[in-house]
Amino acid sequence: MSDTGSDYNAFHNIHYNVIVVYAMKRDITVTIPGEPVAQGRPRFSTHGGFPRAYDPKKSKDGKQSVRFFVSNQMEREGLTPLEGPIMLRAQFGIKLPTSQERKRNPKPRIWRTKKPDLDNLIKLVKDACSGIAFLDDNQIVKVSAEKIQCAQGEAPFTRIQFSEIEELS
């Protein structure tokens, strides 16, 4: 108690906020130029009487592009596949449609609320990087992603970061 007869902590009305901190270990950050590609529905065919599932050409080409840029970045930095729990951060910049371009008032970046779906964009990145940036996609325990429409004149891109995080205690 103080001279005024009130408790110091009660007087100052202290509030405690719990802040969760993820201690980062190693990370891989890559920016891939070009329009982001979403994972398409599998296609089916029969060969010799047996059904077969395969990726559509656009998805296959998109995965190949992501693999190329991620493996080059890892080779340049001398990195090996990440181990343990991983956090994925992703930003997908989708090109502004030509019909929305304005000469006098160029359009700024905005949230993209149309196709492609964010979860399908993430799925393609996870599938493409499995075995390259990390051992298996079940290592990804946390995801933070956003889908934006690029500003007028800005090139489309995919920016991804995989980070090793500490185990929960």
Query: CATH number for the domain including 147?
Result: 3.30.1330.70
The answer to whether residue 85 sits within a structural domain is yes
121 phi and psi angles, rounded to 5 deg: -65, -45
Expressed as residue numbers, the domain containing 99 is 24-165
pLDDT tens figures, 49-102: 888 877 789 999 999 999 999 999 999 999 999 999 999 999 999 999 989 989
| Tokens of residue 133, six digits | 């940036």
Cis peptide bond upstream of 116, omega within 30: yes
The answer to whether residue 71 sits within a structural domain is yes
Number of folded domains that form the chain: 1
pLDDT level of residue 139 (50, 70, 90 thresholds): very high
88 forms bridges with which residues in the sheet?
A: 143, 162
Please report, rounded to a whole number, the percentage of residues in the chain having pLDDT higher than 70: 86
